[in-house]
Amino acid sequence: MIELENVSKRFDDKTVLDGVTARIGRGEIFAVIGPSGAGKSTLLRLVDLLDSPSGGTIRIDGIDIHAERERSLSIRRMMGMVFQKPAAFNTTVAENIAVGLRFRGAGESVIQKKVEDALDMVGLAGYGEQRARTLSGGEMQRVALARAMVIEPEILLMDEPTANLDPVSVEKIEELVLQINRDHGTTIVISTHDMYQGQRLAHRIGVLMNGGFAQVGSPREVFTLPANQDVARFVGTENVVEGVVVAAEFGSSVVDVGGVRVRARSSFSQGEEVCLCIRSEDIRIAPAAGARGLRGGNILPGTVASISPRGPFSRVTVDCGFPLSSVLSWKVVDDLEIRKGSPVSASFTAESVHVVRATRN
């Protein structure tokens, strides 16, 4: 449905996007995630014809949307967009929602009906006559969503729609996104810097970094098999360490990390510089004495370097020659009498080590 081909965008002398390529299918929820300033908003604005790309093409249903000046209005009218900071037109809520319909010359009775339905959908029935500027941020964002949906767009673009909202409002908006996609089959492109939101909503995720998509894939792929160490760090892989492959055979390898040897599954060959990504959930911590053998796995002795609280858990960092972090419940920390400086062993399977090529910036 939407094809991005080598799209780039420069503002004066600052390159924001450089070679963005992706395909987004009809009816898909596609999340663009990436750190602040990665160009997520710029990309969405290019798709919505609010800006023109400096290079590359954006096609919708095969039409180069920036080349077709004559059709730009009808192309733009295929899409609805919700912005990070919703614009409240200085009038009633109902009129705010009706704007797009008025632009399309809809009749008064149609407008009334559709606006009412839209208000119902976003759970704001009865708010129609209220002044839009009196709404809370969450309510206004729902109005913005209703405003974008009332015109029944084929594509809904959402630019960090929940960035400034409280958790309850975030949940409501997320529910609506899923509901809209399910009920109307709307193709949704949502940008977010919250990778978990991407995970919750998206069929596929594109990780936008350094001007391009570092990885495009299902949430599971992106989280468990990050394409490089930057993606790994961004999607919350706590342990990302660099090393060199010292032995490799039959899809398994031994990687030297600062003198410590780690077994991993990978097809990299000897001498290659690689990066190991190990999710903290996959690392077990045990008192040094109680460490049991782990077939084909890794048991690394070390001392506890730090313990820091993390919600109902504790984040325990062990120095095994390089730092490794794991997450343990408070109870486990107490039971195992883990203290700062305690000798422990960290163990994890070779399968839980995801190896990517080391990239140096």
Partner 1 sequence: MYEIIEGFVEAARLIVTLDPDVMAIAARSIVISLTATILATLLAIPLGAAINFGTFPGRKSLINLIQTLYSLPTVIVGLLIFLLISRVGPFGSLRLLFTPTAMVIAQTVLILPIMTGLTISALSGVDPVVRDTLYSLGATRLQFLVNIMKEARFAILATVAVGFGRAISEVGAAILVGGNIAASSFGSSTRVLTTAISLETSMGNIPESIALGIILLAIALGVNLAITTVQHR
Instruction: Single out the residue of 104, 310, 331, 357 in contact with partner 1 (rule: CB under 8 A).
Output: 104
Q: Which is nearer to partner 1, 81 or 227 (CB)?
A: 81
Contact pattern from residue 137 through residue 176 relative to partner 1, giving x for each residue in contact according to CB under 8 A and a dash for the rest:
-------x--xx--x-----x-------------------
Closer Cβ to partner 1, 100 or 206, answer by number: 100
Could you tell me if 139 and 124 are in contact, meaning their C-beta atoms sit under 8 angstroms apart?
yes
Using an 8 Å Cβ cutoff, are 168 and 138 in contact?
A: yes
Structural tokens at position 98: 């009706």
Pick the binder of partner 1 from 48, 139, 160, 230 (CB under 8 A). Answer: 48
| Of the residues 67, 73, 125, 247, which one makes contact with partner 1 according to CB under 8 A | 73
* C-alpha to C-alpha distances, 76 to 21, 123, 234, 344, nearest whole angstrom: 21, 27, 33, 60
User: In whole angstroms, what is the distance from residue 95 CA to residue 92 CA?
Assistant: 5
Query: Taking the mean position of all CA atoms in its chain, how far away is CA 168?
Result: 19
CB of 116 to partner 1, least distance (A): 18
Q: Could you tell me which stretch among 74-82, 183-191, 307-315, 350-358 binds partner 1 (CB under 8 A)?
A: 74-82
Burial class (CB in 10 A: 0-12, 13-18, 19+), 294: middle
Interacting residues of 83 by C-beta distance below 8 A, sequence separation 6+ = 144, 159, 161
308 sits in which H/E element: strand 298-310
170 three-state secondary structure? helix
Closest distance to partner 1 from the beta carbon of 49 (Å): 7
Instruction: Say whether residue 77 binds partner 1 (CB under 8 A).
Output: yes
Q: Name the residue nearer to partner 1 (CB basis): 72 or 270.
A: 72
Distance CA(265)–CA(276), nearest Å, equals 10
Per CB under 8 A, the list member of 52, 67, 71, 103 interacting with partner 1 is 103
Tokens found for residue 61: 């249903």
Pick the closer one to partner 1 by CB: 84 or 218: 84
Span from 13-21, 52-60, 72-80, 135-143 in contact with partner 1 (CB under 8 A) = 72-80
Q: Rounded distance, CA 172 to CA 26, Å?
A: 24
List residues binding partner 1 (CB under 8 A): 45, 48-50, 73, 76-77, 79-81, 83, 85-87, 89-91, 99-100, 102-104, 144, 147-148, 151, 157
